[in-house]
Amino acid sequence: MMKHTLILIIALFPLTLVAQQKKDSTKTISLQEIVVNKIKTVRGTGHMPDVKDGIIYAGKKNEVVLVDSLDANKAINNTRQILGRIPGLNIVESETGGFTANGISTRGLNPSQSIEMNTRQNGYNISGDIFGYNESYYLPPMEAVSRIEMVRGAASLQYGSQFGGMINYVLNEAPKDKKFEWYTSETGGSFGLFNTFNSIGGTINKISYYGYAQFRTMNGWRPNSQQWQLSAFGKIQFTPSEKLNAGVEYTLLRNRIKMPGGLTDSMFNADPRTSFRSRNWLKSPWNIVTGYLNYNLTPQTFLSIKSSLMFSNRSLVWRNEDGGAAALDEKDPLTGQYVNREVESEDMNNATTEVRLTHDYTTGKMKNTLGSGVRFTYAWFKKQSGGKGTTGDDFDLSITGKYEKDINFTTTNIAPFIENIFRVNDRFSITPGFRFEYLRSTSDGYKDSDDGRLTTNENRKRYLPLFGLGVQYKTTSYTNAYANISQAYRPISYSELSPIGVTSKIDQNLKDAKGFNADLGYRGTVKNYLNFDIGLFYIAYNDRIGTILMNPGSSNQYTLRTNVANSVHKGLESYVEFNLLKYLNSHSKKGLNIFNSLALINAEYTSGEFKGNRVETAAKYINRIGVTYHDSRLSGTFEMSNTGDAYGDATNAKISSDPVAGYIPAYTVLDASFTYRLNKLSLKAGMNNIADKKYFTLRADEYPGPGIIPSIGRNFYLGISAKL
């Protein structure tokens, strides 16, 4: 079991050698001070230190999840088991319904495709366009991830302006003591699941390397859910000295997904496993090339440079959203053919460079830390939709004629930032921060409508100062109280400017959303048996972009995407993990951990027509309780996840013919996973959704719907892995 961060252990070894037999003299050798930074945890969740890898975390709400210490279904990236210990994490379980990755959010924000998050891998962005199209179609396989770092809203100063904060998937490193190491994992399971993961790595002199390849295929819980996925990664690093290292990385994803489509409420209630769409397909090839350099200029000064180039795509052919989920995809009895499908294609490209500089300096007797940097991003995005596709049922992206919509978007972003830890004394620190966002967005193209062809040629610039302040008080060596307030910002995205079809429309006067995040909490560890983080949060989200059901109860219902109003999200987040066996015997080599991750959320509109209504997709509570047993060979986790009800739109309509509007009932899901280790082999087994609960987390206005996207029912997995 790995043990990781939030402890500073300073070991100073004075070594005195006394006396040689023939000499009456004393020789003293003093060794240099050694500083070791590690993450202190009870089992699988911890917190970041004040500063790590050139980034300031003091006074910020953050979590670290150590993936290899978890018993979970990593073959299908079961987000509920892997990230479920993060309080208030809301999950859209759409991976088996047509998306390539489950979306997440916290504090009642929109979880669809993680659009409120700053999503990263090894510290660089992996979403389509962090401002214009902040959707994640790629996530690394969890078998390749060593830890997951999450920083809440205060991440807006160091990483970007997102309300939801930052999540970073840190991949495994090459072993430093081996020239070659091979890891293999094979997993099979319900509904045709087969997953194979293989990685190699090693260090030869000053060069280290690591790479993996994963292939996964499954038939799916519902008909028309077949999919396959190939993901791969390679990294080479050159370390000429202890001060300097540099490297390059390449990430690849290839897939093909058949989407079973969405359901109406009556369809779901009758049988959530049904599918009435057999001709919907999606692919999302993803490519990211990254170069980086880390250099300790002096013992007090650290420089980091990361540059990444992403060139990716998302294409689909489908029976479109017209008519909603109730419009069945059936053959015309007169012609014997299906209607023509619709083809969409989106090319996503961005080039990003981030430079960070951290410097420690002394004022009086106290060491302070300055963190600064700048991010430069240029993204270009081509959206083509409304192409007239074939009447067939295979994967065919060919079209007849031209696309109804063909628009080129660009985003230029320059963002300098600075934060400073002022340590008043050994316990108390203050961290003010500032970020300045320059944002330029352009669009150029056309859209065909009933009124003829509409052209667009827009050029919009924004200049946005963002301020923040964090404080931290260390109550003991391993516990601290923290508070933070940071401004946040979310510009209008490309998709929010693009009408979907007859079921959804766009307000032509959309405005950017602004606001702030605030945190107040107490966290830490007590010896080796208790880990906790209990806090309050508050989000002011002004000019929130959401959906409103128009003409409710009529035959002309549709949803309008607009600036609904201002909203406030407030509540409590609590994580407590207690190791009973370590409490009874601190030297016990076994552990029995009981954990609870709880969030109480009140997310409401505070102005406008829907004042007092709940924010769409925001559950009032998310509660996860589990127990984990582990010894030198066997470990296992049983977990209960209970998520409260929510609504699909701002009107809080419970019943609607519109695919987005409607009630999302509360649900409880049970999961269990086990691992048995025998020398270099590990056997894995588990069952998800043990009680076979029929539930859903998403109402989609378009793909992978439209309509309700059911979550997967009871399923099991069995696997074996080896490290050689």
**What single-letter amino acid sits at 469?**
L
Q: How confident is the model at residue 511, as a pLDDT?
A: 81
**What single-letter amino acid sits at 480?**
N
Burial group, residue 173, by CB count within 10 angstroms (0-12, 13-18, 19+): middle
pLDDT-derived band at 32, boundaries 50, 70, 90:
very low
Q: How confident is the model at residue 450, as a pLDDT?
A: 67
Residues sharing a CB contact under 8 Å with residue 8, sequence separation 6 or more, in sequence order: 35, 36, 37, 49
pLDDT-derived band at 36, boundaries 50, 70, 90:
very low
pLDDT digits (tens, 9 = 90+) for 662-674: 999 999 999 999 9
Residue 554 main-chain phi, psi, to 5 deg? -100, 175
What is d(CA 41, CA 532) in angstroms, rounded to the nearest whole number?
10
Residue 257 main-chain phi, psi, to 5 deg? -125, 130
pLDDT digits (tens, 9 = 90+) for 176-193: 999 999 999 999 999 999
Cβ 281 vs Cβ 703: under 8 Å: no
**What single-letter amino acid sits at 132?**
G
Q: Inform me whether the pLDDT recorded for 4 exceeds 90.
A: no
- Residue (of 493, 656, 460) closest to 561 by Cα position: 493
Residue 448 main-chain phi, psi, to 5 deg? -85, 140
Pairing of strands 663-664, 280-283: unpaired
Cβ 186 vs Cβ 196: under 8 Å: yes
Q: How confident is the model at residue 17, as a pLDDT?
A: 28
Average pLDDT of the segment spanning 510-520: 91
Average pLDDT of the segment spanning 610-639: 94
Q: How confident is the model at residue 296, as a pLDDT?
A: 95
In angstroms, the Cα distances linking 257 to 128, 220, 698, 713 are 19, 10, 18, 19
Please measure the distance between the N-terminal and C-terminal CA atoms of the chain and give it in whole angstroms: 18
Q: Inform me whether the pLDDT recorded for 543 exceeds 50.
A: yes
Average pLDDT of the segment spanning 547-564: 72
- Residue (of 89, 128, 552, 489) closest to 313 by Cα position: 128
Cβ 357 vs Cβ 369: under 8 Å: no
* SS3 of 311-351: EEEEEEEECCCCCCCCCCCCCCCCCCCCCCCEEEEEEEEEE
Average pLDDT of the segment spanning 263-268: 94
Residues sharing a CB contact under 8 Å with residue 493, sequence separation 6 or more, in sequence order: 115, 131, 132, 133, 134
Q: Inform me whether the pLDDT recorded for 37 exceeds 70.
A: no
CA dihedral 76, 81, 86, 90 (to 10 degrees): 70
Q: Inform me whether the pLDDT recorded for 422 exceeds 70.
A: yes
pLDDT above 90 as % of the chain: 66
Q: Which residues pair with 302 in a beta bridge?
A: 296, 358
Pairing of strands 530-550, 558-579: antiparallel
Average pLDDT of the segment spanning 132-137: 80
Average pLDDT of the segment spanning 626-645: 94
Q: How confident is the model at residue 609, as a pLDDT?
A: 85
Q: How confident is the model at residue 524, as a pLDDT?
A: 93
Q: Inform me whether the pLDDT recorded for 8 exceeds 70.
A: no
What tokens does 573 get?
């987040």
What is d(CA 188, CA 40) in angstroms, rounded to the nearest whole number?
34
Average pLDDT of the segment spanning 404-411: 91
Whether the CA torsion 73, 210, 358, 157 is positive or negative: it is negative
> Average pLDDT over the chain, rounded to whole?
88
Q: 432: cis peptide before it, omega within 30°? A: no
pLDDT-derived band at 393, boundaries 50, 70, 90:
very high
pLDDT digits (tens, 9 = 90+) for 272-283: 999 999 999 999
- Residue (of 279, 239, 241) closest to 259 by Cα position: 279
Burial group, residue 602, by CB count within 10 angstroms (0-12, 13-18, 19+): middle
In angstroms, the Cα distances linking 293 to 51, 163, 203, 243, 472 are 18, 29, 18, 11, 31
Q: 706: cis peptide before it, omega within 30°? A: yes
What is d(CA 539, CA 568) in angstroms, rounded to the nearest whole number?
6
Q: Which residues pair with 634 in a beta bridge?
A: 676
**What single-letter amino acid sits at 371?**
G
Reduced to 3 states (helix: H, G, I; strand: E, B; else coil), residue 586 is coil
Q: How confident is the model at residue 555, as a pLDDT?
A: 66
**Least confident window among 245-259, 304-318, 451-465, 533-547:** 451-465
- Residue (of 523, 414, 397) closest to 462 by Cα position: 414
Q: How confident is the model at residue 174, as a pLDDT?
A: 95
Average pLDDT of the segment spanning 325-337: 87
Q: What is residue 338's DSSP assignment?
A: P
DSSP 203-249: EETTEEEEEEEEEEEE--SSTT--EEEEEEEEEEEE-SSSSEEEEEE
Q: Inform me whether the pLDDT recorded for 465 exceeds 60.
A: yes
What is d(CA 110, CA 597) in angstroms, rounded to the nearest whole number?
20
* Strands (E) located in 389-427: 405-423
Q: How confident is the model at residue 498, as a pLDDT?
A: 56
Whether the CA torsion 210, 215, 220, 221 is positive or negative: it is negative
Q: How confident is the model at residue 502, as a pLDDT?
A: 43
Q: Which residues pair with 571 in a beta bridge?
A: 537, 601
Q: What sections of 218-371 are H helices per DSSP?
A: 265-270
What is d(CA 487, CA 469) in angstroms, rounded to the nearest whole number?
10
The CATH 2.40.170.20 portion of the chain extends over: 38-723
Q: Inform me whether the pLDDT recorded for 467 exceeds 90.
A: yes
DSSP 657-690: SSSS-SEE--EEEEEEEEEEEETTEEEEEEEEST
Residue scoring higher pLDDT (75 or 100): 75
Residue 556: how many other CB atoms lie within 10 Å: 7
Angle CA 449–283–91, to nearest 5? 90
What is d(CA 648, CA 654) in angstroms, rounded to the nearest whole number?
9
Average pLDDT of the segment spanning 474-492: 93
Q: How confident is the model at residue 30, as a pLDDT?
A: 45
**Least confident window among 38-52, 595-609, 611-625:** 38-52
Q: Which residue do the tokens 């959320």 mark?
A: 601
Q: How confident is the model at residue 551, as a pLDDT?
A: 72
Q: What is residue 129's DSSP assignment?
A: B
What is d(CA 96, CA 225) in angstroms, rounded to the nearest whole number?
7
What is d(CA 104, CA 117) in angstroms, rounded to the nearest whole number?
8
What is d(CA 222, CA 277) in angstroms, rounded to the nearest whole number?
11
Q: Which residue do the tokens 């929510």 mark?
A: 646
DSSP 146-179: EEEEEE-GGGGTTT---SS-EEEEEEPPPPSS-S
Q: Which helix (H) or strand (E) holds 80?
A: helix 79-82
Average pLDDT of the segment spanning 25-32: 43
What is d(CA 651, CA 649) in angstroms, rounded to the nearest whole number?
6
Residues sharing a CB contact under 8 Å with residue 20, sequence separation 6 or more, in sequence order: none
Cβ 447 vs Cβ 407: under 8 Å: yes
**What single-letter amino acid sits at 476?**
T
**What single-letter amino acid sits at 244?**
L
Q: Which residue do the tokens 């660089």 mark?
A: 124
Q: Inform me whether the pLDDT recorded for 403 exceeds 80.
A: yes
Q: Inform me whether the pLDDT recorded for 503 exceeds 80.
A: no
Q: How confident is the model at residue 625, as a pLDDT?
A: 96
CATH entry 3.30.365.10 includes domain 38-723: no
Q: Which residues pair with 201 in a beta bridge?
A: 181, 210
Residue scoring higher pLDDT (41 or 178): 178
Residues sharing a CB contact under 8 Å with residue 623, sequence separation 6 or more, in sequence order: 596, 597, 598, 599, 641, 642, 643
pLDDT-derived band at 65, boundaries 50, 70, 90:
very high
pLDDT-derived band at 470, boundaries 50, 70, 90:
very high
What is d(CA 548, CA 151) in angstroms, rounded to the nearest whole number?
31
